[in-house]
Structures are given as C-alpha cells and as structure tokens.
Chain A
Amino acid sequence: MKTMFMDGNAAAAEAMRLARIQVVAAYPITPQSPIAEGLAKFCVQGTLDAKYMRIESEHSAMSACVGAALTGVRVGTATASVGLALMHEILNVASGLRLPIVMPVVNRALVAPWSLWCDHSDAMPERDSGWLQLYAEDAQESLDLALIAYRVAEHPEVMLPVMVCLDGFFVSHTGMAVRVPDQSEVDEFLPPYHTDNLLLDPDKPMFVNPLTMSDEYTELKYQHKIGADKAEQVLPEVMAEFAKKFGRKYEPVEFYKCDDAEEVVVTLGSMSGTASYVVDQLRAKGQKVGLARIVSFRPFPHRLLRERLAGVKRIAVLERATSIGGAGGPVLAEVRSTLTNLPVRVEGFVAGLGGRDIPPATIEKVFDHLRTAEPQCRPTWADVRSDAMTIREVVQ
C-alpha cells in the first residue's frame, strides 16, 4: 500500500490497471479522457498487459468490450455524458448477456444544452439498463469502488456489468491523497477472470444471443433480475471483505448522524461531502439532521433505507438530475417508492445541474424548505435563478 496524490480519473485508471484488464476499448470524452490516456500510457510503459484498441466511438467501444468479454477476458472502458448516451443500445446488450464489465462513468450533463460539467443526467437514464451503479464521493472511492465492482460483477450468481460513477471535474479532476493498494494485494482480492457462462470458444461452441421468442424472453429478464437481487446481498459482503483487507469500510448507503435525526438529506456523489459539513453545522445549532449518502444506486438499497430511515420525520432527496415531465426525479422516485406506507414525508430537490456548484447555502436552503414548505409531489428546483425565463433578451 502506498499513498499517491491523484484525482478521480487517475484513481479509476489505476484501479483498472490493478485489476489487470486485458482489452481496453475506450473513446476519449471530456472529462474522462485522462482515463483513456492513462490506460494507453500503462500499456506502452508495460505496467498493464492489455490490447489497447484505438476505438472509433463509444458505441463501438462497448461493442468491442462485449466481443472481447465473450471470449472470456476482463475488459476495460470508460465514458461520460453523450458518450454514455451513444453506448445506450449496447449497454442493454452487455447486461442482458450477463457480462461483468466494469466501467467508470465520469458524470457530465447531457446535451442540449451543451455542457462539459457535472450532473447525473447521463447515468440516470441508464438506471433501467440492467447495469449496477455505484457512486463515488472522491478519488479514493473511485479506486476502491472500482475494485469492489469487479468482484461483485464477476460473482457467478451476479454476472452483471457495473458503472462506477464519479462526478465530472468535482471528483475526476480533484486531487487528494489516495491510498493505492499493491498489485499483490489486489491479486489476492481479485483473482483472474473466469466464466462458466456465455462464451465464444471453438472448443465449447454455442450461439450467443439468437432471437428469443415471447415464450422465453420474460424468463431471461427474470434471470437478470435475480442476478441484481443477488448483487444486493453480495455487495455488502464484498465491501466487508474489502474493509478487512484494505482497511476502508464502505456500505451500500452511508448513514451519517441518522439514528436520532428528524430530517435527513439523501445525496449521491461529491455533494455528499458538503452535505455532511452542513449536517455538522446544523447539529451544532441543535437541529436533529442527518445524511444518507447512496453509494449503490443499483441495486437500490431499499431494505437498508427502510430499516434506517423509518423513524425519520422528513427526508429531502437532493439530486443532480431531473425527469422532465415526471412526478419525481430519478432518485426521488426510488426513495418514495422504497419508503411507501411509512409515515415519513419525502420531498425532492433539484440542484447542481450542468456543473453548478452545490455550496452549503443550497443545502441549508433545502433543509429549511423541507421544514417550512407545504408538502408537494414534484421536486423543488433549489438553485434556479429567478430570471430563468428572461436570460436571453434580443434587440427587436
């Protein structure tokens, strides 16, 4: 184990290197490019023994990963924003074929409008893709959660691909002291990839992904669901093993000061750090507040949330994503559904779209609004400017 100063991108790339991926097919896109570049450097330097494919698009990147994974090797790719959107068709292929692909996703807003900066509108639309989704708060977590992801993905009863999400620029480009495990420690934690499932091998011929009729499609999707259900059990087990080996403890949801809380804010990603700071400030003023940071968005930790938040009075779900035209944002909908039939009131808040910072003031405003405003179905846009409809004046 050594300590290195690295940002989220470098940490993610290092995790992939330590995981000994054998085929890389990653297309560059801001803010992920340093991952694609880092992996190329490792290959040239000889610190990663992999075939580096200079792939020509994200759609092809995931297609090549599927092809390579089907031959029985561990593969690597990463993307962001519209790159993930372009991969969409093949994301469903990867999960439906039960391929354990681990992919860092550097969260960046979708287009239009054009933005280079952080929000979760890229990963949230993929919540139905059958992929598992983990959200890292900082560079250390970008590395740790990726290593954990390989173990969960490749578990023979899970066999599902995992997105390890890290906030664009806030995590990807923010450096910190990261504890980096040694190769030998990772080799002990993560054995070489082996599959007994779908495989392209002339010694064991099978035809993968033929047409499936209505008499079997539901059953295949049910198998897929069972895999994700199993992941809900496997993830904390792997996290516990990781804690034992590497000394850093993770849980599918990190509860901070929730035990006697009357109000809890639910967060994902880097905003959680600011949220915990605000919780401390408000606690110092005597307010009984807490933070529930979701690490595993898929599988959604419904059991844990129900157990630990049942006694809370009011919950604010703060998200960097929306579902325009919907009754709730992606995370709001999941939390409300999870806590159904419990007396807790759940309110939604949208903030931080397109890279807008979420400072302590925004989170304080969220708690305030939660406490004072009338309950409502749809989320409140916590940081929208009052002149939203008039920002583009033209001279007649």
Chain B
Amino acid sequence: MPMPPGGLMQKPAVSEQKRYLLGPVAVRFSAANTGSWRIVRPVYDAENCSACRMCEKFCPAGIISVEKAPEKGGKHKVTFNWEYCKGCGICMVECVRKCIEMQPEKNFV
C-alpha cells in the first residue's frame, strides 16, 4: 500500500550502463513526507465500524486501508499511512458511523 519513496521508474539495463537525458525531465517516482504536515490525526474506533469504505474512498491522499473482518461479526480494521496522512479530517466527516475522531498530533509524537 505505501509507495516506497524514490526508486527508479525505469529498470536499470542489464549492463548497468549509465545514460543521461538532456533537458527538463523527472525520472524518479517519489513521495513527499506530507505526514509531517499534520496538526491533528484521525483516531479510529472499530466498535461501530461497518467497513462501508467511505473513509477509504474519500481520503485525498488515498492512504486509508479498510480490511473487512475475516469472520462474520468480527471487528473490521482501518489503518492509516502516517507517512502521508495530512490530517485533513475528511475521513472523520464522511464516516457514516462516526468511528473517527481528530486528535492533536502532538499527543502521538
């Protein structure tokens, strides 16, 4: 789920020959540490969660993962990638069952 920052988009050639492009071009796929922006973070309580996936689908950064409980009646699981969560709070607002609360980030650092 989390993309490793950096890393080449193109696989290196077998002979590992270096080649240089000329002109303005980006060849590395990267991710900024947008998690460092957070002032508040979502705190999830599985108690009432129905795995509706509203949080997962509306997260602008796409960093929420919803895992349905393997057995019927079991607790679902929602995880956040803290490297990239900006703490916008959309997941909290869109959660149908109010399972998410935004709490100060400083409580977690």
- In the assembled complex, the CB of A82 is this many whole angstroms from the nearest CB of chain B, namely 29
Pick the contact of B22: A159, A207, A209 (CB < 8 A): A159
Q: Interface size (B, Cβ < 8 Å)?
A: 10
CA distance A206 to B26 in the complex (A): 6
Q: A204 an interface residue at 8 Å Cβ cutoff? A: yes
Docked-complex contact B10 and A204, CB < 8 angstroms: yes
Residues of A within 8 A of B25 (CB): 198, 206-210
- Kindly name the residue among B10, B23, B26, B27 whose own CB sees the greatest number of chain A CB atoms within 10 A: B23
The answer to whether B24 and A212 touch across the interface, beta carbons within 8 angstroms, is yes
Does chain A have a CB within 8 A of B109?
A: no
Cβ of A224: which chain B residues have Cβ within 8 Å of it?
Answer: 23
Asked whether B21 is an interface residue with its Cβ less than 8 Å from the other chain, the reply is yes
Judged by DSSP, the binding face of B is loop
* Whole-angstrom CA separation of A210 from B26 in the bound complex: 7
Of the four ranges (under 10, 10 to 19, 20 to 34, 35 or more), the interface on chain A belongs to 10 to 19
Q: DSSP class of A's interface residues: helix, strand, loop or mixed?
A: loop
CB of A128, distance to nearest CB on chain B (Å): 18
Determine whether B9 belongs to the interface, using a CB cutoff of 8 Å to chain A: yes
State which of A198, A204, A205 has its C-beta within 8 Å of the C-beta of B23. A198
Per the bound structure, the CA–CA distance linking A96 and B22 in Å amounts to: 9
A207 engages B23 (CB within 8 Å):
no
Query: Are the CB atoms of B21 and A207 closer together than 8 Å?
Result: no
- Say whether A151 faces chain B, with CB atoms less than 8 Å apart: no
A74 within 8 A of B: no
B26 touches A96 (CB 8 A): no
Query: Is the C-beta of A39 less than 8 angstroms from some C-beta in chain B?
Result: no
Judged by a CB distance under 8 angstroms, whether A293 is at the interface is: no
6 contacts between A and B (CB under 8 A): A205-B10, A206-B21, A206-B26, A208-B24, A208-B25, A220-B23
Enumerate chain B interface residues (CB-CB to A < 8 A). Answer: 9-10, 19, 21-27
* Sample of 9 more A-B contacts, CB < 8 Å, known A98-B22, A197-B23, A205-B9: A96-B24, A97-B24, A98-B23, A196-B19, A204-B10, A208-B25, A209-B25, A212-B24, A220-B24
Q: Which residues of A contact B (CB under 8 A)?
A: 96-98, 159, 196-198, 204-210, 212, 220, 223-224, 227
